[in-house]
Structure 1
Amino acid sequence: MGFMADVLLLLITIIFPPFGVFIISGCSVDLLINIALTSLGYFPGHIHAFYLEYVYMQRRDYGILEPYEPAPGVYSDAINTGGRRAYGALVVEETIVA
């Protein structure tokens, strides 16, 4: 995603936090937690959603794939890998020796 897509995601999250979480994680435990926190109060849902988006964007920019250490409180593989889904495949860099 580009800069404008990130800005749009943040604007959507300001208006309705669960929809912003749904965009990055799909239907997951993180979405259910965010819906529960938003129903408890508007600000807990925002804090949780912005934390998930921070983790997502940070890991997307660094290109983290498996094996990865899950972020605290994040249960979705889509967020923990920054949107890159390895589906259990171990990514190994090949070194060519001449």
Structure 2
Amino acid sequence: MDLVRIILSVLIPPLGVFLKVGFGKHFWLNIILTLLGYIPGLVHAIWIIARTEPVSA
């Protein structure tokens, strides 16, 4: 499932984060980072998806 999230994150970074954590603080942070630039949003999305421990919303 993480592979699908990463592929979706390459297309739309906030979508991958949303599928991992929902409407939490990481989702909104990713929206802001993506608006500031695609690369920061992409890096943040992949970092959130690749984390092994659960991410708190």
Same fold (TM over 0.5): yes
- How many residues align? The count is 57
For residues 25-67 of structure 1, give each alpha carbon's deviation from its aligned partner in whole angstroms, at most 9, with x where no partner exists.
0001110100000000000001111111111xx226xxxxxxx
Structure number with greater Rg is 1
Unaligned 5+ segments in structure 2 are none
Match 1:36 to one of 29, 32, 35? 32
Q: If each structure's helix is expressed as a fraction of its own residues, which one has the higher value?
A: 2
Show structure 1 runs of 4+ deviating over 2 A: none
Overall identity of the aligned pairs, in %:
33
| Alignment partner of 1:50 is 2:46 | yes
Taking structure 1 as the reference length, the TM-score comes to 0.54
Unaligned 5+ segments in structure 1 are 61-75, 79-98
Name which structure has the greater RCO, CA cutoff 8 Å, separation 6+: 2
